[in-house]
Amino acid sequence: MNYVKRMKAALLIVMLVFTGCAQTGLRIGNTVTLCCPGNYADYDAYRLQTENMPIFLRDWIVDMFDTAFQEHGMERNDQVNDLIVTLTYQHVNLDPETEDINPFIRQESIDVELRYIAVVNVSMRETRTGEEVWAGQISRIHTVSPGEYMHEGNARVAFLETFRDLLSNYPGRD
């Protein structure tokens, strides 16, 4: 079982290195994973939902995505919309010895360095048909020493720049 998990982690790292990820700010990579089966000129509004997003990240990740997507002329409307945008968080531990440690629930008794890849997948589906019409992901490799915490100010700027870069490939109405 550990072998399979290590292979998944290794495959994800190789994928991140060779997908042509653009690096910005705090070195958050991004890549488009699905493009162009949609009727993008017809989309005006979107609903946003999150899955598996750590609570401390959720509000400002959503804010940064909203800002970047609204710069493309899209309006967020959670009641009447053309697209459902889902932001899904996933992390992949890179060290087998620490793979059972959740990086967001640190206990004082744990004094090991954690290495993991944090990934936010972006999926856009047509509200009417449910068909996925655009997708991408942003990711970053983290090394967290005991006692470190997230520097939200710098991260907000990096997330906004990364979402802008990712969405520059969205064939919207700009």
- CA dihedral 137→74→155→143, nearest 10 degrees, is -10
CA atoms of 15 and 2, how far apart (whole Å): 20
Q: How confident is the model at residue 77 (pLDDT cuts 50, 70, 90)?
A: very high
Entry pTM: 0.77
3-state percent breakdown (helix, strand, coil) of the chain, nearest 5: 30, 30, 35
Q: How far apart are CA 121 and CA 102, in angstroms?
A: 19
**pLDDT score at 97:** 76
Q: Which residue has the higher pLDDT, 117 or 69?
A: 69
The pLDDT of residue 14 is 36
Of all residues in the chain, the percent with pLDDT exceeding 70 is 69
Only one residue has tokens 């068909």, namely 131
φ/ψ of 57, rounded to 5, equals -95, -30
- How far apart CA 10 and CA 125 sit, in angstroms, is 30
Number of other CB atoms surrounding residue 163 within 10 Å? 26
Measured distance CA(48)–CA(61) in Å, rounded: 11
Calculate the dihedral angle through the C-alpha atoms of 158, 78, 82, 19, rounding to the nearest 10 degrees: 20
Q: Which amino acid is at 6?
A: R
The pLDDT of residue 23 is above 70: no
pLDDT above 70 for 166 = yes
Assigned token pair, 18:
């060779």
CATH number of 2-167: 3.30.160
* CA gap 126, 129 in Å, rounded: 6
Q: Residue ranges per domain, the chain?
A: 2-167
